[in-house]
């Protein structure tokens, strides 16, 4: 989802009060609010495709999946963000009794766009890495077949890349698998003459 930096500086408390009244979404990093704009067709399709896979596999378990609207707070940096997809397991912990700001995500997934790619890889990931509960971070490109998977291993993050529709990403912390052929279902890339249909062909 696209974003633009705003110059307004607020305290975390001021931001949260402002955001709960706002008609559009804003993230909050380093005292500044970042306005979130609309997403492309490809972004929306990839997000829904991915969530469908997670929902099917997690439906009878102890995990919950949220899409786009669930705000995540990092206590260590006082940042607030809206990941494209959030997974939390066991008992979700929230900032207060409004239940709209999650504190303990275990998996975060971002679908990249030209305006947010550097932000998602850099500053945003730096904040995410400081969330104690987070075990896996996934970046999904929308203009080519590429999924990057970061797995926490102690104080390090192990990167694995997936670039083929036949590949399957294993999310170890939640015991789920993401098939790239399903993640990119109905997505057409510039160099291709055919659409990736429901069969992934």
Residue 193, pLDDT score: 40
Residue 67, pLDDT score: 93
Residue 27 token pair: 């993230």
Q: Is residue 9 classed as helix, strand or coil in its secondary structure?
A: strand
Length of the chain equals 201
Local structure of residue 12 (DSSP, 8 states)? H
Q: How far is CA 1 from CA 19, 69, 83, 99, in A?
A: 17, 12, 9, 23
Residue 1, pLDDT score: 54
Of the candidates 87, 95, 93, the residue with the CA atom closest to the CA atom of residue 61 = 87
What's the whole-model pTM score?
0.89
Calpha distance 156→81 (Å, rounded) = 22
Residue 83, H or E segment = none
- In DSSP terms, which residues pair with 159 in a beta bridge? 150
Calpha distance 90→121 (Å, rounded) = 28
- In DSSP terms, which residues pair with 27 in a beta bridge? 34
Residue 112, pLDDT score: 94
Reported as a single tens digit per residue, the pLDDT across 99-145 is 999 999 999 999 998 888 888 998 899 999 999 999 999 999 999 99
Q: Is residue 111 classed as helix, strand or coil in its secondary structure?
A: strand
Show pLDDT as tens, one digit a residue, over the chain (201 residues).
Answer: 545 555 468 899 999 999 999 999 999 988 889 888 778 999 999 999 999 999 999 999 999 999 989 999 998 999 999 999 999 999 999 999 999 999 999 999 999 988 888 889 988 999 999 999 999 999 999 999 999 999 999 999 999 999 999 999 999 999 999 999 999 999 998 765 444 544 444
């Amino acid at each position: 989802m696209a974003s633009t930096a705003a110059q307004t500086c607020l305290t975390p408390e001021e931001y949260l009060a402002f955001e709960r009244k706002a008609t559009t979404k804003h993230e909050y990093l380093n005292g500044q609010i970042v306005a979130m704009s609309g997403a492309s067709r490809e972004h929306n399709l990839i997000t829904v495709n991915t969530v469908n896979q997670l929902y099917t596999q997690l439906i009878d378990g102890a995990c919950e999946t949220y899409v786009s609207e669930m705000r995540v707070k990092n206590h260590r940096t006082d940042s607030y963000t809206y990941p494209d997809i959030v997974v939390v397991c066991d008992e979700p912990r929230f900032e207060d009794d409004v239940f709209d700001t999650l504190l303990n995500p275990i998996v975060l997934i971002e679908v990249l766009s030209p305006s947010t790619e550097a932000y998602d890889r850099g500053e945003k990931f730096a904040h995410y890495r400081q969330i104690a509960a987070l075990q896996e971070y996934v970046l999904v490109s929308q203009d080519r077949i590429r999924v990057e998977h970061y797995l926490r291993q102690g104080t390090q993050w192990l990167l694995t890349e997936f670039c083929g529709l036949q590949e399957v990403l294993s999310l170890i912390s939640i015991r789920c698998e993401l098939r790239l052929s399903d993640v990119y279902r109905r997505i057409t890339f510039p160099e291709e003459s055919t659409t990736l249909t429901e069969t992934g062909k």
